[in-house]
Amino acid sequence: NAGVTQTPKFQVLKTGQSMTLQCAQDMNHEYMSWYRQDPGMGLRLIHYSVGAGITDQGEVPNGYNVSRSTTEDFPLRLLSAAPSQTSVYFCASSRGQGIHGYTFGSGTRLTVV
Amino acid sequence: AQTVTQSQPEMSVQEAETVTLSCTYDTSENNYYLFWYKQPPSRQMILVIRQEAYKQQNATENRFSVNFQKAAKSFSLKISDSQLGDTAMYFCAFMKLEETSGSRLTFGEGTQLTVNP
């Protein structure tokens, strides 16, 4: 049982490049979400999904796209990377509405130069 | 919108002693959940403890317990018999239940706890 798997763990991008952060879970969780972590600001919600084919915006969605074609996968796409997107990104999933807590991936450290 | 505040950016404690991390939140909701997550240097987010707002009894998990004061909107974490492995960033998080959309976690800024030998 792998839980929530994020790839890559580290990435350096040049300004303007695009890339996709991968997230997969094997727990058959309905809820999946993406957060970014910046120093002194905790974690902030980017996008989330309550099931395959359903996504919605969180607190800081600008510059990011998501899709949910399967229950297992929830990729996060950076359309045109900017230095302000330098951050640590976490994918999380939960059974139901998350009242028992979310399971987090190990994070992706992204640097945009 | 809900807000979560952790007023202690850093704290330290001696091994085997007790430490309390504070958290306050602002909401007009009555039905919600509160969590404490731990993030050690490995970066992994680990759920420490959870509390349902409708339960008056404070949650406990081994050496970890909370003091939940609903009227004061306060949710502090007490760590007893601190161990070196407790050194980590601790995040308080709030979640309200949404009827028609996904529930979201709102995090505080975090408290860096260092346990000294």
Q: pLDDT below 50 — which residues of chain B?
A: none
Chain A CA closest to residue B6: A42
Cα(A3)–Cα(B112) distance, rounded to whole angstroms?
26
- How far off is chain A from B82, nearest CA to CA, in Å? 23
Question: Model confidence over A39-61: pLDDT tens digits?
Answer: 888 999 999 999 999 999 999 99
| pLDDT at residue A4 is higher than 80 | yes
Q: Which positions 19-48 of A are in contact with B (Cβ < 8 Å)?
A: 31, 33, 35, 40-45, 48
Nearest to B44 among A31, A33, A106 (CB): A106
CB contact under 8 A, B43 and A106: yes
Chain A CA closest to residue B31: A99
**What per-residue confidence (pLDDT) applies to B2?**
82
CB contact under 8 A, B97 and A33: no
Q: Under a CB-based contact definition with an 8 Å cutoff, are residues B96 and B4 in contact? A: no
**What per-residue confidence (pLDDT) applies to B101?**
64
Cα(B4)–Cα(A86) distance, rounded to whole angstroms?
23
Question: Model confidence over B31-48: pLDDT tens digits?
Answer: 899 999 999 999 999 999
CA dist list (Å): B11 to B8, B90, B113: 7, 10, 5
Question: Model confidence over A14-38: pLDDT tens digits?
Answer: 999 999 999 999 999 999 999 999 9
Cα(B55)–Cα(B58) distance, rounded to whole angstroms?
8
Question: Model confidence over A66-105: pLDDT tens digits?
Answer: 999 999 999 999 999 999 999 999 999 998 778 888 999 9
